[in-house]
Amino acid sequence: MGKYDEIFQRSIQDPAAFWGEAAGAIDWYKKWDKVLDDSKKPFYRWFTGGELNTCYNALDRHVEKGRADQVALIYDSPVTNTIQKYTYAELLDLVAHFAGGLKGLGVGKGDTVIIYMPMIPQAAIAMLACARLGAVHSVVFGGFAPHELAIRIDDARPKVIITASGAIEGPRIIEYKPMLDKAVELAKHKPAKCIIYQRRFVKSALFRDRDVDWEKLVEKSRPAECVPVQATDPLYILYTSGTTGIPKGIVRDNGGHAVALRWSLENIYDTKPGEVYWAASDVGWVVGHSYIVYGPLLTGCTTVLYEGKPVGTPNPGSFWRVISQHGVKTLFTAPTAFRAIKREDPLGEHVKKYDLSKFRYLFLAGERLDPDTYHWAHKLLDKPVIDHWWQTETGWPITANCVGIESFPIKPGSSTKPVPGFNVQILDTGGTSLGPKQEGLVAVKLPLPPGTLPTLWKADDRFIQSYMSMFDGYYFTADGGYRDEDGYLYIMGRVDDVINVAGHRLSTGEMEEIIATHPDVAECAVIGVGDSLKGQLPVGFAVLKSGVKKEAEEVRSELSKLIRNEIGPIACYKETAVVARLPKTRSGKILRGTMRKIADGEEFKVPSTIDDPAILSEIEEALKGIGYARKDKDYLVL
């Protein structure tokens, strides 16, 4: 039995002993009474009775134990031409003073605070300051529409909202304050105060009775000490989309979260205290919570907070510049970032300009990593390119190549094996376990490990309905996939990404993998659209690489033949829309459901998370060009 197998079996057979041992890497004010409390299934709780403070574990203890002068956070902002470095001592001082400012405004243990910020150090400072006081933060992606922000205000009921005057998005300056003002106007719940961090390129007018200037607040505040909280007390709420259109508030507790993330940095990412870790994401997403702010700082690493894009700020070499300049060992980002780089610089000319000798691993997650992007990145970097899979709900990876434990050979298209603590099963619709190469529904046998959601914010019934009702004793991931004969897992995408063509269940994810192998395709998506004869038919969308001269019709023909050769005529794949770009969320996920509704002529709400709403008109025109989106009515509902 290898090292991974031994550790994995221990985590499943005796989770209390396994995670009790892992909890030794965290400092506690009071040790827990029970590691795993299973008295109210399926509401499992970890480290009940234990007391700690997440901010203390992320900052104070490192200062006390010799890391005061180590760089804790590097702020790299090509959009403002700024690089700032904060040592652990400096970051602790900033966080303690801002926490003192919050305390002076009446924020205390158990209160909620909404953080509506761009990718600046003050976002991380605000998160850690809330954790310091035992307040529950809810980070809302900076720039979310006022209506969506208002929904979150009414659900979280914050005492204070923290924002900045604005952000830079490409050539535009986005003012946050007017959107915040509108959201507060729309919301039934009114925060007592709003704190505004004024950026130098845009200033906000403040309301005298409600708004507080960040700098003035900090100037007159005294540093606040850490407040002990229960391990089971919530650290944050993070809203994710729900099937009803009402967002679900994922709850993360303090104790299990700290233990899981501290364990994951070394065992999954092979990143140790003192090393540089960069998650190229946003604090508005779960990746930003887990691996920009909390995970690296709990471990004693240096984390990079990047305000920019993979391309265009200023070129496709931006990532290589950051890795080289800051000595990054581990990069974690989304596959869509690498597809963007591949599209702009298909030959990888920019990477040759930089010294990447300290760079060891590229981890990708957030959407399926197609084999073509894997091979391109691996060939370009000559480094391990590691696909891993997890969800907002879990807070950290479910499946991965745990290179800090034992490195396995990589199989393109697979996210390797379950992470210790996650007993992943492939089930049929009746709940029966399936064998190798049998595609089914991906579920995780309870209990979920520490760090995963214990429930939804003030919605226990919805928690059970959304995740626990499909299979008794399992968390249902809503993803489909299969396991091969070596135990490697292949996650094929959301269950609703499986289409039914004349009675045959076909994976659009598999079709995407095949299309991505075409030498002219930079990025692609496949959806199922309604068909009166066959029920559904697959339709593809392809973004071509920079410099491709072929006519769209030629590419469409080649892709149709490719699918026919690889899957067979049963796929009935005939149509591809060649487009300039794909509609995505700001975190990089392709909006396949929205595209499907456009193709079927259904009404829909433009997602609040969309990167650029104008792209939907481009998709509609492209679909019309191949005979879809035929209904003569205005069905874009804003």
| 355, two tokens | 């010294």
From the list 305, 296, 293, the residue with the least C-alpha distance to 269 is 296
pLDDT at 497 over 80: no
Higher pLDDT, 509 or 141: 141
E strand or H helix at 426, and its extent?
A: strand 423-427
| 420, two tokens | 């210790």
Same domain, 207 and 295: yes
Q: Please indicate, yes or no, if residue 443 is contained in any of the structural domains.
A: yes
Residues 6+ apart with CB under 8 A from 36: 15, 16, 19, 44, 45, 46, 447
> What would you report as the CA-atom Rg of the chain, rounded to the nearest whole angstrom?
24
Same domain, 393 and 428: yes
Q: How far apart are CA 337 and CA 311, in angstroms?
A: 8
Same domain, 597 and 449: no
Q: Please indicate, yes or no, if residue 355 is contained in any of the structural domains.
A: no
Of the given ranges (184-188, 302-306, 351-355, 599-603), which has the lowest mean pLDDT?
A: 599-603
341: left (phi over 0), alpha (psi -120 to 50) or beta: alpha
Q: How far apart are CA 448 and CA 423, in angstroms?
A: 8
The single-letter code of the amino acid at 620 is E
- The pLDDT tens digits of the residues spanning 150-199 come to 999 999 999 999 999 999 988 889 999 999 999 999 999 999 999 999 99
Q: Please indicate, yes or no, if residue 555 is contained in any of the structural domains.
A: yes
Same domain, 464 and 526: no
Percent of the chain exceeding pLDDT 70 equals 95
Same domain, 536 and 631: yes
Distances (CA, A) of 220 to 133, 157, 161, 193, 214: 18, 27, 19, 16, 11
Three-class SS state of 378: helix
Task: Give the pLDDT of residue 169.
Answer: 86
- The pLDDT tens digits of the residues spanning 549-598 come to 888 899 999 999 988 877 767 778 889 999 999 998 776 778 888 888 88
Q: How far apart are CA 280 and CA 298, in angstroms?
A: 18
pLDDT at 496 over 80: no
Composition of the chain by helix, strand, coil, percent to 5? 35, 25, 40
Domain ranges, residue 534: 502-637
Same domain, 176 and 63: yes
From the list 116, 402, 477, the residue with the least C-alpha distance to 282 is 116
CATH number at residue 623: 3.30.300.30
Q: Please indicate, yes or no, if residue 240 is contained in any of the structural domains.
A: yes
Q: Please indicate, yes or no, if residue 398 is contained in any of the structural domains.
A: yes
CATH number at residue 396: 3.40.50.12780
| 188, two tokens | 């039934």
Burial classification of residue 353, based on how many CB atoms lie within 10 Å of its CB (0-12 exposed, 13-18 middle, 19 or more buried): exposed
Q: Please indicate, yes or no, if residue 631 is contained in any of the structural domains.
A: yes
Q: What's the pTM value of the predicted model, to 2 decimals?
A: 0.85
How many C-beta atoms lie closer than 10 Å to residue 75's C-beta?
19
The single-letter code of the amino acid at 178 is P
Q: Please indicate, yes or no, if residue 345 is contained in any of the structural domains.
A: no
Q: Please indicate, yes or no, if residue 287 is contained in any of the structural domains.
A: yes
SS (H, E, C) 196-212: EECECCECCCCCCCCEE
Same domain, 108 and 204: yes
Number of domains the chain contains: 2
Three-class SS state of 118: coil
Region 32-52: mean pLDDT is 98
pLDDT at 326 over 80: yes
Residue 43 in contact with residue 455, Cβ under 8 Å? Answer: yes
Same domain, 543 and 467: no
How would you classify the pairing of strands 399-400 and 417-418?
antiparallel
Kindly report the average pLDDT of the chain as a whole number: 92
